[in-house]
Amino acid sequence: MVLDYILRNAAIAGSEPRTCDIGVASGRIAAISERIEADIPIEDVGGKLVVPGFVETHIHLDKSCILDRCKSREGTLAEAIAEVAAAKRGFSEDDIYRRARRTLEKAIVQGTMRVRTHVEVDPRIGLKGFHAIRTLKQAYAWAIDLEICVFPQEGLLNDPGTEELLIEACEQGADLIGGCPYTDNNPHGQIARIFAIAQRFDCDVDFHLDFDLDPSWMDLEEVCRKTEEMRWGGRVAIGHVTKLSALKPERFTAAARRLADAGVAVTVLPATDLFLAGRNHDHNVPRGVAPAHRLLDHGVTCSIASNNVLNPFTPFGDCSLVRMANLYANIAQVGRANELTACLDMITAVPAKLMNLRDYGVAIGNPADFVVLDCRDRTAAIAEIARPLFGIKHGHRTFVCPPAKLLAADCDSDHRGAEA
């Protein structure tokens, strides 16, 4: 076996603090061993943590970076949907591409290497968003794998022409189909239609679901029921599901078991959920974020993701999944070492399972995809929001973020000499 490159002294996430060498050949991981010797380029990372790139299961690239076109006075979900629907009428394919590219490039330098992006389709925007993101997917395949989920943000059964466009997008290469039953005049009708499209194209399903704090009704049961009826377990995800945060313990446990049994995964979107939830409270404002780590304990496949970046749904965002996991840990009040490692798992291995990625992970035979973080273990990665130092995709370097250097005025040369 002829190796091209060795990543030396890597603390592979899950195996730390033990370190090893990783041998790369033709863009794939060809060897992992305590010590690999060969007369080829070697990069010693000195025991830093190595992850196989972060996995973002839920981000809206097509409507990112539009704060200058929208107002956010109430900060409610209804306002965000209305504002974006109005702004969307002015979108061109080129405009969508430029904004989405800006957001995707941020995600790349934050160490994200696999992405599911949700793209809006309806008779006003047509397939402009889909076509722009499809072009982006090809242009950035050297750095990131982009999976396109087309979905009807403004409803399906109440919006004639939308279903035909969703089908057209699937025929033109959309990877999966999404739904948004809470904006439909017939939520269960929409769920049924989305599953029918998924069956026709043999693709996965990803719904925006149960996005408020009223526990008196939920669409979760209907999605689980359809998943079982269609035998689609392991291929269905639901995002937000903030109602789960409003359930008393017994009902929460029952819902978690239902999700685990049906094979329905959950994506928690802390930034958006925190920003939009509980706007009708003037004190003791609820957090409104589903307890992902507790779902995980019940065997639910669970991811933490970004959702929106710089728009009325979330007027923030640097696309850092490590920061998002830290935000989740903070608001979910989890801080023990095993809980923090679970938070890292929810932006790496578990979302890879949600997306049914079969070649993810630092293992022999998989693509040589690595991100080196400026820390030594998973706990520190989340607790300290460790910075990604560089990334390698298919064996090629995709970004570098050199560590910061202090430049103190009184840092005399003697001291520096002593350190050297």
Query: In the complex with Zn ion, which residue's Cβ is closer, 52 or 179?
Result: 179
Query: In the complex with Zn ion, which residue's Cβ is closer, 242 or 307?
Result: 307
Burial class (CB in 10 A: 0-12, 13-18, 19+), 412: exposed
**Minimum distance of Zn ion from residue 24's CB (angstroms):** 35
Residue nearest to Zn ion (CB): 307
Query: In the complex with Zn ion, which residue's Cβ is closer, 101 or 118?
Result: 118
Instruction: With beta carbons less than 8 A apart as the criterion, state whether 236 and 227 touch.
Output: yes
9 binds Zn ion (CB under 5 A): no
**Residue 34: CB partners within 8 Å, gap ≥ 6?**
20, 21
**Minimum distance of Zn ion from residue 176's CB (angstroms):** 14
Binding string to Zn ion for residues 282 to 321, with x set by CB under 5 A, is what?
-------------------------x--------------
Query: In the complex with Zn ion, which residue's Cβ is closer, 19 or 307?
Result: 307
Size of the residue set binding Zn ion (CB under 5 A): 1
**Minimum distance of Zn ion from residue 15's CB (angstroms):** 33
Instruction: Give the separation between CA 383 and CA 240, rounded to whole angstroms.
Output: 23
Query: In the complex with Zn ion, which residue's Cβ is closer, 64 or 301?
Result: 64
SS (H, E, C) the chain: CCCCEEEEEEEECCCCCCCEEEEEECCEEEEEECCCCCCCCEEECCCCEEECCEEEEEECCCCCCCHHHCCCCCCCHHHHHHHHHHHHCCCCHHHHHHHHHHHHHHHHHCCEEEEEEEEECECCCECHHHHHHHHHHHHCCCCCEEEEEEECCCCCCCCCCHHHHHHHHHHCCCCEEEECHHHCCCHHHHHHHHHHHHHHHCCCEEEEECCCCCCCCCCHHHHHHHHHHCCCCCCEEEEECHHHHHCCHHHHHHHHHHHHHHCEEEEECHHHHHHHCCCCCCCCCCCCCCCHHHHHHCCCCEEECCECCCECCECCCCCCHHHHHHHHHHHCCCCCHHHHHHHHHCCCHHHHHHCCCCCCCCCCCCECCEEEECCCCHHHHHHCCCCEEEEEECCEEEEECCCCCCCCCCCCHHHHHHHC
Query: In the complex with Zn ion, which residue's Cβ is closer, 355 or 373?
Result: 355
Query: In the complex with Zn ion, which residue's Cβ is closer, 9 or 307?
Result: 307
Query: In the complex with Zn ion, which residue's Cβ is closer, 313 or 390?
Result: 313
Query: In the complex with Zn ion, which residue's Cβ is closer, 7 or 324?
Result: 324
**Minimum distance of Zn ion from residue 298's CB (angstroms):** 23
Query: In the complex with Zn ion, which residue's Cβ is closer, 112 or 307?
Result: 307
**Minimum distance of Zn ion from residue 28's CB (angstroms):** 33
**Minimum distance of Zn ion from residue 228's CB (angstroms):** 25
**Minimum distance of Zn ion from residue 279's CB (angstroms):** 18
- In 3D space, the residue among 85, 99, 112 whose CA is nearest the CA of residue 180 turns out to be 85
**Minimum distance of Zn ion from residue 7's CB (angstroms):** 35
**297-316 burial string, b = 16+ CB within 10 Å, else e?**
ebebbbbbbbbbbbbbbbbb
| 92: its two tokens | 């061109």
**Minimum distance of Zn ion from residue 60's CB (angstroms):** 6
**Minimum distance of Zn ion from residue 340's CB (angstroms):** 25
**Minimum distance of Zn ion from residue 115's CB (angstroms):** 13
Query: In the complex with Zn ion, which residue's Cβ is closer, 245 or 307?
Result: 307
The residues of the shown chain that bind Zn ion, judged by CB under 5 A, are 307
